Structure 1
Amino acid sequence: MKTYFFSILLFVILAGFSTNAQTRIIEGQVTTLDNLPVANFEVHAKKSGAGISTDSLGRFSIVTKEKDVLLFKGKVFRNERVRINEKIIDSVFVHVNFIPTPENKKRAVGYGYVDENELINSISHMGPENEDFCNYSDIFELIRGRLPGVEVRGGGQNAEVVIRGTSSLNLSSCALYVVDGVVVRSISHISPCHVASIDVIKDAGSSIYGSRGANGVVLIETKRGGE
């Protein structure tokens, strides 16, 4: 009988050691746009059930189990997930993609995700609150000189929007154009009167478009697209 109870006790102790051995503490950082740290961002470990929010520098520390999955969730960001495996050595760096709408910019600051001044420097925005878009003869005249770090080179139908500080992976320096969520080759056909807003994203913030966004991205929302 003593041998039986000793065996049971030994099994419980070894099981405890085994469970602890499978538990890992993962540290990391969450950033967005031009490597801005994201504060108050939710991080959850699916298997361990642990949850944490990032600090003011976007850093976090969370308890995970073997082959756990970390879920990263924010109200104005695209969700991300990272699987914990043998390739990850106790640290995870996650870049989350910001959804750049005027309303989301207000929410990002309101929720305390990013500092307002840092957000302004990462995303250039122009909306009808700035001025009457109908005062301009074409879309390039509207953009020229009115968005920080943005140039319009050439003229007429062949004009191009070039974002300073971006690195080209191809022969063209032209930014990627996205109109109402659709990638287009040219924006010359768009009338300024039909424009609801223009946002320009560069550097890491354009990574959601892959290599096509290497020269930065010009996001145009038309009044028709917003209906």
Structure 2
Amino acid sequence: MRHFIIAILMLLYGFALIGQNRVVNGYVTTLGNLHVANLKVSARNAGSAVSTDSTGFFFIVTNERDVLEFSSDVFKKRRVRINNRLPDTLKVAIEFVDSPENRQIAVGYGYMNEKDIINSISQMDRKRNDFCQYSNVFDLIRGRLPGVQVVGGGREPEVIIRGIGSITLSSCALYVVDGVVVNTIGHISPCQISSISVLKDSSASMYGSRGANGVVVIETIKGPQ
């Protein structure tokens, strides 16, 4: 199989030289290091389109100055501009828009398998939980999500995902509400919450160093649907 792929790449490279095009290949990942299969990759100017294989690998003919688009309803659209500084082999990370419906779609279309999603994300949603029975968001989180602790008192305790790793530095998780990083979540009423997801380990790496202590992702009823 690998020899076949190399032969195809060489053939495409020959066509690229003739037409002043360029062959680009790479891998598509999400939630840190999960490979995304069956995802459509298209070159907007060249008009070519392919799908990633079971390992997230793709190769595609593009123009010398083109835009690659990685698209699906369950991922945020990602565009990569082709230019002289871009290497021929790419690693493209795309953001999974987590919801119960999107999990079903992702599994159904073969983008990821259910086990990988469950291992990467812990989630509660209002369709299966009565969020309004809790007095505040921290009582809602406390003891309901595996590996998550609420530490401290007052109106703004800390949500700890990986355990307290430092006495002097904060181990508090990063908070993302409706796609925006915020400093506090104490003001959010449980009745306003549509879902809560917890990202940890490699699945939090999409937020860079800010997600080193894990990420609490909250979608509100007024947020994106």
TM bracket (short chain): 0.7 to 0.9
Alignment of 1:113-192 (within 5 A): 113-164=111-162, 171-192=169-190
TM-superposed CA distance for 1:204, in Å, is: 5.0
**2:150·2:157 contact (CA, 8 Å) conserved in 1?**
yes
TM-superposed CA distance for 1:45, in Å, is: 1.8
**1:40·1:54 contact (CA, 8 Å) conserved in 2?**
yes
Larger Cα Rg: Structure 1 or Structure 2?
1
Say which SS state the counterpart of residue 107 (structure 1) adopts.
helix
Q: Distance in 2 between matches of 1:84 and 1:180?
A: 30
Change (3 A) 1:189 1:65: closer
Alignment of 1:70-85 (within 5 A): 70-85=68-83
TM-superposed CA distance for 1:219, in Å, is: 2.0
Q: Distance in 2 between matches of 1:172 and 1:127?
A: 28
Alignment of 1:1-227 (within 5 A): 20=18, 22-164=20-162, 171-203=169-201, 205-206=203-204, 209=207, 211-223=209-221, 225=223
Q: Distance in 2 between matches of 1:38 and 1:182?
A: 25
TM-superposed CA distance for 1:89, in Å, is: 4.1
TM-score relative to the length of structure 1: 0.76
TM-superposed CA distance for 1:70, in Å, is: 1.8
TM-score relative to the length of structure 2: 0.77
Which runs of 5 or more residues in structure 2 are unaligned?
1-13
Say which SS state the counterpart of residue 155 (structure 2) adopts.
helix
Q: What number of residue pairs does the alignment pair up?
A: 211
TM-superposed CA distance for 1:82, in Å, is: 2.0
TM-superposed CA distance for 1:111, in Å, is: 2.0
- The percentage of counterpart residues that share the same residue type is 58
Letter matched to residue 110 of structure 2: G
Say which SS state the counterpart of residue 148 (structure 1) adopts.
coil
